[in-house]
Structure 1
Amino acid sequence: MKIAVLALDDVFDTGLAAVLDTLETANELGGRAQQNEIARISTRERVRTHHGFVVPLSPIPKRAPDLVIVPALACKQPDTIVAALDRPDVREAAALLARWHARGARVAAACTGTFVLGQSGLLDGHRATTTWWLGPTFRRAFPSVELDDEQMLVADRRVLTAGAALAHIDLALAVIRERSPSLASLVARHLLVDDRPSQAPFIAPGYVAYDDDLVKRFETWTRRHIAEPFELAKVARAVGASERTLQRRIRLVLGKSPVAFVQELRLERATHLLRVTHDSVDTIARAVGYEDGATLRLLIRRKLRTGVRELRGVRLSAS
């Protein structure tokens, strides 16, 4: 299989290296039968990574490769990734992806590289994921995309998207797994990579980047009244919006219901209290808005089953 890794200026060093190293490891472990031809290309003659390293490049092939992978740009904030989308090289890369996809190539991207796919129009009307803290920015930039930013990987119509940062490894492993599940498992073992089907265990609600004033007011009010029973009508009045407007805005910006977001905030606070205090689970449950500890224990156990690392070791006993 011919794979082109499309690098752009200010490419995220770890993302580029993770994709190349994972694919190279597969080539070495898989033998001749599992060899992939890997080329580093760009829309420019010279590309530097975020840390200033020059990327060795091959000429852009005349024929579309089987697969094109776009590593992330080193943009960590909404304003920087939105500004990057206006760069000429990014626009040219998006156009190249659209042409190659029309000729049968599959395309893939991880982290902020998914914004380049969004710019190409290939995600319109289809499912995708992106780096979790930039989900609201992605939704605003590409409203036609069905974004599921809790997923680590989403495959839809010959397009594969992956989540934040080290999800570049998950993306490369998914490519390998399509040809040989056993080889993908072996590569994962060599790289010491666990199975990570979801980004949800890593999401910190307080660090999701959004600039919507109504959603910010909703979060601020909820954190201040987190011990109170949640009533949408009461919160809507407090933040100066109708219930319908509040529901619609939170769904648009965060991709979830107000109740689901409040539950995330409660669990985040409860986890912190369980770590830094000696209060019982029942006491902490009441402090974050649950009548007793049973509900809190159930929610934590559900998170534990999805592999939430920051919850491992959290005490669930009553004392």
Structure 2
Amino acid sequence: MSFTLVVLEDAFAASVAATLDMLRAARTLGARSLRFQACSVNGGFVRLSSGVGVETSRLPARSRADATTWVIPGLGMNDAAAVRERLARPDALTLSKLIARHVSRGGRVAAACTSVFLLQQAGVLPRRRVTTTWWLAGLLAEMETECVVDANAMVCADGPILTAGAAFAQTDLMLHLLREHCGARLVDMLARTLLLDGRQAQARFIAPELLANGDTLIARISAEVEAHFPNPPSVATLASRLGMTERTLSRHVRRVTGQSPLALVHSLKSRRAQALLQATHLSVDDVAAAVGYQDAGTLRRLLKKLGVAPPRALRSAASPPPPPGRKRA
């Protein structure tokens, strides 16, 4: 079993380091046949984010058999303009061509966060289910209309293409790969040793104001919904107030956020509910009513669907003790 860690200049240093440390730890814990190397387009020392760097070997420019899984950590950009600028640089253009060749010859590629955009540039995402950092999911869906972008997923595996969510989802991606190659028992030991907790969804980390990514319309929708709790406007009402059809509204929301308008509303409800659970002593039924749900069971199902801890756990972790004589809800 072999991995090629492929890094570009200014890549997210923590993701590169975490990948190397997880691979070394897996080998120490018993995966003796595990082989890996760090490579780059030109080889040599590659400067990463935060002023650190890594020595690399050069990826072969000429075709040759390569049975390794290529692992590409996030590129360290936070917005659409930076993504487009980074993809246009010579090393990214060269790597995209190498990725396309590797996949065409039966190779696997695993990318996290913004490095998923390299796979889009390489042309290997059509008809695949993929994910990326949640606040850029809409951009990926806009750039690659023939793939399904699941902004909620932490890791997506579709044929030879594996993708993961924002920055530290790199660890979830590596747990997935190592579970395939080394088995569940060793990976469980690795996760316990390094205090890693494999996560299934990005949804509980999504902040709607960041999901808007500077888009005025999404900001207006969020403000409308939050201003009218516990009875936020329907999607039809939102569209009418914004002077557009439901279809146009839906298309815009999905393009920017990677979500449907209804999913965006549920994200806003979830965030308000979490805030109330953590900062007040309202009962779970009262919190549910405050965000427009009929009962606590509906709220619990929403939180579970989004990968959020149940109300009792949220309250126990963040709220101060209740007043004397009053029990936690």
Partner of 1:53 in structure 2? 52
Partner of 1:186 in structure 2? 189
CA-CA distance at 1:131 after TM superposition: 1.2
Amino acid across the alignment from 1:276: A
Moved more, 191-200 or 155-164: 191-200
Cα gap change, 1:37 to 1:150, in 2 (>3 Å): same
Cα gap change, 1:281 to 1:173, in 2 (>3 Å): closer
For structure 1, the 5+ residue unaligned runs are none
CA-CA distance at 1:214 after TM superposition: 3.1
Task: Give the Cα–Cα distance (whole angstroms) in 1 for the partners of residues 10 and 39 of structure 2.
Answer: 14
CA-CA distance at 1:26 after TM superposition: 1.2
CA-CA distance at 1:209 after TM superposition: 4.2
**Which of 94, 116, 119 does residue 118 from structure 2 map onto?**
116
Partner of 2:39 in structure 1? 41
Cα gap change, 1:29 to 1:293, in 2 (>3 Å): closer
Partner of 1:169 in structure 2? 171
Partner of 1:312 in structure 2? 313
The total of aligned residue pairs comes to 315
Moved more, 145-154 or 203-212: 203-212
Task: Give the Cα–Cα distance (whole angstroms) in 2 for the partners of residues 310 and 133 of structure 1.
Answer: 25
CA-CA distance at 1:189 after TM superposition: 1.7
Partner of 1:153 in structure 2? 155
2:241 paired with 1:238: yes
Percentage of matched positions with identical amino acids: 39
Task: Give the Cα–Cα distance (whole angstroms) in 1 for the partners of residues 126 and 237 of structure 2.
Answer: 36
Q: CA RMSD in A?
A: 2.5
**Which of 196, 200, 203 does residue 200 from structure 1 map onto?**
203
Contact 2:13–2:53 at 8 Å: present in 1 too?
A: no
Cα gap change, 1:81 to 1:228, in 2 (>3 Å): same
CA-CA distance at 1:59 after TM superposition: 2.8
Amino acid across the alignment from 1:75: M
Contact 1:111–1:130 at 8 Å: present in 2 too?
A: yes
**Which of 101, 106, 113 does residue 108 from structure 2 map onto?**
106
CA-CA distance at 1:211 after TM superposition: 4.2
SS of the residue aligned with 1:89?
Answer: helix
CA-CA distance at 1:65 after TM superposition: 4.1
> How far does the alpha carbon of each residue in 1:47-76 deviate from its partner, in whole angstroms, 9 at most, with x for none?
201122232111324533421111111112
Partner of 1:228 in structure 2? 231
**Which of 222, 229, 253 does residue 256 from structure 2 map onto?**
253
Amino acid across the alignment from 1:262: V
Moved more, 76-85 or 150-159: 76-85
> How far does the alpha carbon of each residue in 1:61-114 deviate from its partner, in whole angstroms, 9 at most, with x for none?
453342111111111233222221111111111111111111221111111111
Task: Give the Cα–Cα distance (whole angstroms) in 2 for the partners of residues 252 and 193 of structure 1.
Answer: 33
CA-CA distance at 1:28 after TM superposition: 1.7
Task: Give the Cα–Cα distance (whole angstroms) in 1 for the partners of residues 188 and 297 of structure 2.
Answer: 38
TM-score by length of 1: 0.89
Task: Give the Cα–Cα distance (whole angstroms) in 2 for the partners of residues 105 and 296 of structure 1.
Answer: 43
